[in-house]
């Protein structure tokens, strides 16, 4: 998937600029419904995507992501996949959060940084309406958060 390759390229460049090495994910697993891989004994959830630090992989419900793509545009892929790769970056840099909402918001921030960086590098081209599309996709794919 292009979103994965481009996002991992972006993070490899950022890590290299800081004299460190980005560790690519080991697997990128498409699943359907409840047929996904487990993560530390936790079953895959339908209509979701997740990063699993045990095994350093990303899994996603392919039917759900395709439906989002079909209904909301290509922004779905460029919100979900870079967000999950943001969790992989967190695992390599810092994973010391008091609340899950902090982890999720930082992964969103990392996804935005990667997307913006790819556009700035000329690897992706922003189209008219992309900002609104990305916000709609972000809202549709958003995780439930902890109560503050």
148 lies in some domain: no
Mean pLDDT of the chain: 87
In a domain, 132, yes or no: yes
**125 within a domain of the structure (yes/no):** yes
Is 92:85 a contact under the CB 8 Å cutoff? no
Number of Cβ atoms within 10 Å of the Cβ of 116: 13
**Distance between CA atoms of 58 and 88, rounded to whole angstroms?**
8
Q: What is the pLDDT of residue 50?
A: 95
Is residue 77 a part of any domain in this protein? Answer: yes
What's the Rg (C-alpha) of the chain? 15
pLDDT value of residue 29: 97
Q: What is the pLDDT along the chain (148 residues), one digit of tens a residue?
A: 799 999 999 999 999 999 999 999 999 999 999 999 999 999 999 999 999 999 999 999 999 999 988 988 888 888 899 999 999 999 999 777 888 888 888 998 899 899 889 989 999 887 776 677 666 656 665 655 554 4
Q: Give domain status of residue 115, yes or no.
A: yes
Task: Examine residue 18 and state whether it is found in any structural domain, yes or no.
Answer: yes
Residue 76, domain member (yes or no): yes
- Domain residue limits at 81: 2-26+66-141
| pLDDT tens digits, 74-103 | 888 888 999 999 999 999 997 778 888 888
Domain count, the chain: 1
pLDDT at 127: 78
Under 8 Å CB-to-CB from 31, ≥6 apart: which residues? Answer: 37, 44, 59, 60, 61, 62
């Amino acid at each position: 998937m292009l979103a994965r390759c481009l996002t991992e390229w972006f993070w490899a460049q950022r890590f290299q600029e800081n004299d460190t090495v980005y560790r690519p994910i080991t697997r990128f697993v498409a699943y359907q419904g409840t047929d996904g891989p487990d993560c530390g004994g936790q079953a895959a959830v339908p209509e979701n995507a997740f990063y699993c630090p045990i095994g350093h992989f990303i899994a996603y419900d392919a039917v759900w992501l395709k439906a989002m793509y079909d209904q909301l545009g290509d922004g779905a892929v460029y919100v979900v996949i870079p967000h999950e790769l943001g969790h992989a970056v967190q695992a390599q840099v810092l994973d010391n959060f008091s609340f899950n909402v902090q982890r999720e918001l930082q992964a969103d921030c990392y996804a935005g940084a990667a997307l913006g960086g790819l556009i700035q590098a000329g690897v992706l081209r922003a189209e008219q309406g992309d900002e609104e599309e990305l916000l709609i996709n972000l809202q549709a794919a958003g995780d439930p958060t902890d109560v503050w």
